[in-house]
Amino acid sequence: MRQTGVVVSTDENTAILQMQRHSACASCGGCGMGKEESKDMQIEAINRLGAKKGDFVEVDISTPNVLKAAAIAYVIPLMVLFIGIVISNKVLTSINYSSNIETMSAIIGAFLMGVTFMIIKKNEPKFKKSEEYTPIITNIVN
């Protein structure tokens, strides 16, 4: 996936870019930006070309990596929720749990999903360090 943006600031090997959200992001709201009026967003990108503040640049991140990142952020926690509900329902039924099994299964599933989100958040620095999910500046336009 390739987009263009303007460099707002630079660091040693990274740059903060101001760019417009991709049309695929318009209605998602997953990052909280769907609620804002502005279609602009800031992202961090690897800056191996030495782009400076004010430069227009092209940024690229491979589509498979975008899909893997989406799976890590959304699909895995959702699967853990469903698996947690199903397994806890079976376990609670087998031990003759006397209260509301469905409610307790939902609570256990939600708890496990929350733990999954915390694990993903804890490993976020490792994901950033791998550069697999980080956009890369591929061309300075101006």
Is 114 found in the same domain as 73? yes
Do 48 and 99 sit in the same domain of this protein?
Answer: no
Which 3-state string (H, E, C) describes the chain?
CEEEEEEEEECCCEEEEEEECCHHHCCCCCCCHHHCCCCEEEEEEECCCCCCCCCEEEEECCHHHHHHHHHHHHHHHHHHHHHHHHHHHHHHHHCCCCCCHHHHHHHHHHHHHHHHHHHHHHCHHHHHHHCCCCCEEEEECC
**Same domain assignment for residues 49 and 10:** yes
54 and 77 part of one domain: no
Dump pLDDT digits (tens) for 82-141: 999 999 999 999 998 888 999 999 999 999 999 999 999 998 888 777 777 788 888 888
Domain enclosing residue 74, as ranges: 64-130
Are residues 68 and 57 part of one domain? no
Q: Which residue has the higher pLDDT, 113 or 65?
A: 113
pLDDT for 28 equals: 53
Q: For residue 37, what pLDDT is reported? A: 52
Looking at residue 21, what is its pLDDT? 67
Res 24: pLDDT: 56
Average pLDDT, the chain: 84
Total domains, the chain? 2
